Amino acid sequence: MNDLTWTPTQVRRLKELGVDLENLRADFSTPVERNKLFQQIEKKQVKKEKARLKELLTKAGKTKIETLADDLTCVLNQQGFVRVATPIIISKSALAKMTIDEDHPLSRQVYWINEKQCLRPMLAPNLYSLMVDFNRLNHRPIRFFEIGSCFRKESDGSRHNSEFTMLNLVEMGLAKEKRHDRLKELAAIIAKTAGLNDFRFENEESTVYGTTLDVVAGPANIEVASGAMGPHPLDAAWGITDTWVGIGFGLERLLMISQGDTSIGKWGKNLSYLNGIRLSL
Ligand code: ATP
Ligand code: MG
């Protein structure tokens, strides 16, 4: 075995082009030999990726994340959930009702646009506000969900985007003893619709929600969702007394796992990738 292998720049380029490095020769006798092979592989892969991009732009009509959002909307509609769309800009007071005040760790992750408003780091404050209004109706259950952008300043890039797409559903008015099973049932419906067969439930401690029921998936046990149920300590700030279950999934994480990827970059909102395809071709 020779010591000479791919340069870090070559590895980066091959990865962004989606080359499977595990099954690629990686030791060479001379740089010339290595660079020649690199150029051959790069050229071939660029051609392949250009064909995929053309296919997307001329035939597919929809990106994978859009298809996922549509499929999830369809399945949730069938389950009696109504899709809502609420503002991306939220107030400081709505965040404070989630206990996220200036001393809270999550507050450092919030993008403030002025002293009183920020980009929502989660859908929950707006969904809580709707729960307050829906609570005045006397029919039960009440089922609704939102799919939309959330924003957080994050340091770990491989599983986090500063802008990501959250799906958060809420079902109000279930019998207390049915909440746990229902939460799992709903989580499984979403995970399966997203093409995840290999997922598990875990109890986690959250600084906002207390103990959450998380869904983790894939060989690396990556969190794809966090669920909670009420009555919950946060409910008092909103004046909610009803029972509820709620769960929030990250769509880019679902996509990353269903595509067998270990990094979220290709699936997030950015100008370097579209539908997992590197655009510098
Ligand atoms: P993590 O601990 O992995 O940072 P979290 O527990 O802070 O996630 P939650 O607040 O529970 O995240 O959000 C619900 C879901 O939203 C997560 O399970 C994940 O799928 C997704 N999510 C949260 N933050 C991000 C992010 N920065 N980028 C992509 N997806 C995210
Ligand atoms: Mg979580």
Q: Within the chain, what is the greatest distance between any pair of CA atoms?
A: 76
Whose atoms come closest to the Cα of 223: which ligand?
1
**How far, in Å, is the centroid of ligand 1 from the Cα of 136?**
31
C-alpha radius of gyration, the chain, whole number = 22
The 10s digit of each residue's pLDDT in 150-188 is: 999 998 778 999 999 999 999 999 999 999 999 999 999
pTM: 0.92
Which residue from 106, 120, 226, 254 has its CB within 8 A of the most atoms of ligand 1, so it is best to mutate?
226
| Helix (H/G/I), strand (E/B), else coil: 220 | coil
CA distance 130 to 183: 20
221: left (phi over 0), alpha (psi -120 to 50) or beta: left
- Element at 40 (helix H, strand E): helix 31-55
The 10s digit of each residue's pLDDT in 68-109 is: 999 999 999 999 999 999 999 999 999 999 888 888 888 899
Tell me which residue of 67, 68, 14 sits closest to 43, measured CA to CA: 14
Q: What is the pLDDT of residue 105?
A: 85
Tell me which residue of 235, 257, 248 sits closest to 135, measured CA to CA: 235
Q: Of all atoms in ligand 1, which is nearest to the CA of residue 152? A: 27
User: In the CATH hierarchy, which top-level class contains the domain 64-267?
Assistant: alpha beta
Which residues approach ligand 1 with their CB closer than 6 A? 122, 152, 154, 159-161, 164, 166, 223-226, 248-250, 252-253
**How far, in Å, is the centroid of ligand 1 from the Cα of 159?**
8
Domain parsing of the chain, residue ranges: 8-59, 64-267
Q: Give 57's pLDDT tier (boundaries 50, 70, 90).
A: very high
Q: What is the pLDDT of residue 2?
A: 63
255 Cβ neighbours under 8 A, 6+ residues apart: 64, 65, 68, 194, 267
- Using CA positions, which residue lies closest to atom 25 of ligand 1? 160
8-59 CATH fold: Helix Hairpins (1.10.287)
Average pLDDT over residues 245-272: 94
